[in-house]
Chain A
Amino acid sequence: MIDTTTVLAGQTIAYTLYVIVILLLMGWFGYQITRKGKSEGIKPALFYSFVGFLVVLGVSLHIVTHETIPWKPIDLNRDKIAHDKLFEISIKDHQYKLPADTLKIDQNDMVLFKVTSEDLTYGFGLFRQDNSMLFQMQVIPGHMNDILWKFDKPQVYTIRSTEYSGWKGSNMILKDVVVVK
């Protein structure tokens, strides 16, 4: 399974290139419009081509990610996919309540996390030891919040709330409590 770091590296490269192109384009444009010379009209065909490009870009982004980012179809079909392990977690008074001190996962397990809140809106995210994010979801009170994830690498993860729940929520961190072997 493609790792989230790979996707983020791809995004970093793509967006950085895009930023460079836009800055160069705007710099070139700013220079050109001040230069002397006869003004030429812009053909409508260029405009319509640009509209077509935007439409294709807007639609294709989501199709491409659906086909290349594995957790997207897993998430949309999670009620139909069997899980190897289930962890039920609850949150109250800015405290996570885990089913065990350490959540042990076997490599390649498909794991379902069901998280409930008894009071506020919180977040539930898993983070690597270098602080990068594996995934996150919101935890809304009064609703079941579940996420299905395939762990295909041995790794240790920290649970951290990814949503602001007041100043008391600053320390909602459980260090190295998810272990994949």
Chain B
Amino acid sequence: MSFINTFMNGEQGLFKPVNLTPMQKLTLRFVVVGLFYYLFAVVEGMLMRIHLAAPGALMDDKQFFAIMTAHPLVGIFGSSYSIVFGAFLFLVPFLMKKPLWSIKLANWTLWLVAIGTFTFWFAGFLSHYSPLYTLYWPLPADFTQFSVVGGIFFVLGIALVMVGTLFFVLNIFKTIAYTPEGSEKQIKGVLASALGFRRLKNADGTNVVSTPVAAIARGTVDTMLNAGIITFTGVLILVYMVAALLGHDLKHSAVDALLYKNWFWWGLDLIADGLVLIFVAGTWYLLASLITGKKIFMEKWARAALLVEMIVSWFVWSHHLMSDQAQPAFLKIFSGEMLTAFELITQGLAFFITLATLWQARPLQMSNPLKFLLGGLTGFALAVPAGIMQADLGLNRILHNTQWIVGPHVHVAILVGLTMTLYSAIYFLFPILTNGAKLYSQKLANFHFWAHLLGGIGMGAFMGMAGLKGMLRRSVYFNGEFNLYMILAALAGSLLLFAFLAFFFNIVMSLGLKGVIGIFTPSEKKTKDLLPS
């Protein structure tokens, strides 16, 4: 088959979009949107890396900080949320053997997240609205630095994403709880069981709600709470913006900056220390059991750890305020240090249980899902202890807001831990969602794995070294103080870009250009079934 033919029709012409069910198309659309925004985030990351190594070469500081504001939001909402939402909207009904509660609502989620992400990105790009995702009060309402109109569109973009997120939450909970038309009535308390408040067992002693579905349900609680916090925060900022548009200057001091910071971090940690860790642990369990075909090792503990993680995630926010001297010492020690240390335990358990599940099933073939799963496990094994170290009052004094935080902790957790776990799921679901399409090149998949793993760890390591030498995050150094580390981090970062391009090319060649376009055309099959019968 010629290159052009493969490019147009996919590897061996196996992928036929016309045979896809609406659910398969929906899930693939989520994945495509998520990957598109991942590319956005990687390119933005590379532009920032160049600015840090050579300030002013490509852009000025205003543009740099506007990119820095949009970058994590594009990565989290546009990319991770899209892929995770798409995967879970497929997996929950798949694992519970019933249709999704509402495909229509899931479509709304997809387009609200996609359009919302573009809206806030574009608003930031044009207006340079850049209070960062931290939004420390009263910076988001400082209109001596930022455009009011740009800010309004930025907040509206985020609001669209949050509405889409709440639709996802509703869809997941309803799918777990409802009885499909024509089916035998589902027993009561399934949702409570998924959330960990009831124990429901089948006659054979197995759980009515599988552990991965329980993880998704518990992570979705944090997703819902976080969406509420972000929406409230957006409305508060919007009040100041609308007032400014109407010529009124509302008093910033009416909002207490420390209280706001506590509120904001309480909400944001529901993502960073809540849903991410819970969803990831659940995905590890699911992938490990699917890859091995075996039961999860110590499943009772795995479920208990998921519940503990959800509850712990509501109380750990103060580790972000350890350098805030007005923050009560009790909160710094109890919430910031002691409860945060629980995350070492819960995530450590998930790590051990997943490895043990794999070990008990050996020998295993080193498939793409397995190698990326091991990569994801490695990422969190490196990033979680780095986070626990900075959540210490003594160490935080010399680590807070340095490149250490954002390198070995944040980027290794997201790029190596989370993203490689998501890639594992994508490689696993690929033949299921495409009705048996064949991957174009295993060599490219191998390159994708190694370049991503080494690029992610390498970038995090060089950023961390700079941080330990005193380099701050969110700061530009104009005299080349940390150039060596920034150049090395940029080189490692470029490996991430090449890894993604190899993956993207591999997927396009596997599905063909016609196939990729076909994903976005309406499905001809009128069925709520997940897969073709």
A interface, CB within 8 angstroms of B: 4, 7-8, 11-12, 15, 18-19, 22-23, 26, 29-30, 32-37, 39-42, 44, 47, 50-51, 54-55, 57-59, 61-62, 65-66, 68-69, 71-72, 75-76, 119-121, 123, 125, 127-128, 130-138, 140-147, 160, 162-168, 170
Contacts and interface: CB of A to CB of B under 8 A. Distances in A.
Contacts of A40: 360
Contacts of B215: none
Contacts of B329: 76
Interface in B357-381: 358-366, 371, 374, 377-378, 381
Contacts of B297: 42, 47
Interface stretch (B2-10, B129-137, B150-158, B498-506): B129-137
A135 B397 CA distance: 6
Contacts of B371: 30
B388 A35 contact: no
A7 B404 CA distance: 14
Contacts of A146: 325
A133 B468 CA distance: 8
B348 interface: yes
Nearest to A31: B366
B325 A147 contact: yes
Contact of B253 (A35, A39, A54, A142): A142
Nearest to A127: B470
A131 B136 contact: no
Which interface residue of B361, B371, B470 has the most chain A CB atoms within 10 A? B470
Interface in B120-148: 128, 130-132, 134, 136-139, 142, 145-146
A82 to B, nearest CB: 18
B394 A7 contact: yes
B131 A166 contact: yes
Nearest to A147: B325
Interface residues on B, range: 35 or more
Contacts of A37: 362-363
Contacts of B365: 34
Contacts of B393: 62, 65-66, 72, 75-76
B398 A7 contact: yes
A61 B388 contact: yes
A163 B325 contact: no
Interface in B378-415: 378, 381-382, 385-386, 388-389, 392-395, 397-398, 400-402, 408
Nearest to A76: B329
Q: Ordered nearest first, which 8 A-B pairs have the shortest CB separation?
A: A58-B341, A69-B394, A72-B394, A143-B326, A164-B474, A132-B470, A121-B136, A65-B394
Nearest to B138: A120
B395 A7 contact: yes
A34 B338 contact: no
A69 B326 CA distance: 21
29 contacts: A7-B394, A11-B395, A15-B464, A18-B385, A19-B461, A30-B366, A33-B359, A33-B361, A33-B363, A42-B356, A47-B297, A51-B349, A54-B349, A55-B345, A61-B392, A66-B393, A71-B394, A120-B142, A137-B325, A137-B397, A140-B258, A143-B326, A144-B325, A147-B325, A162-B400, A162-B401, A167-B65, A167-B130, A170-B475
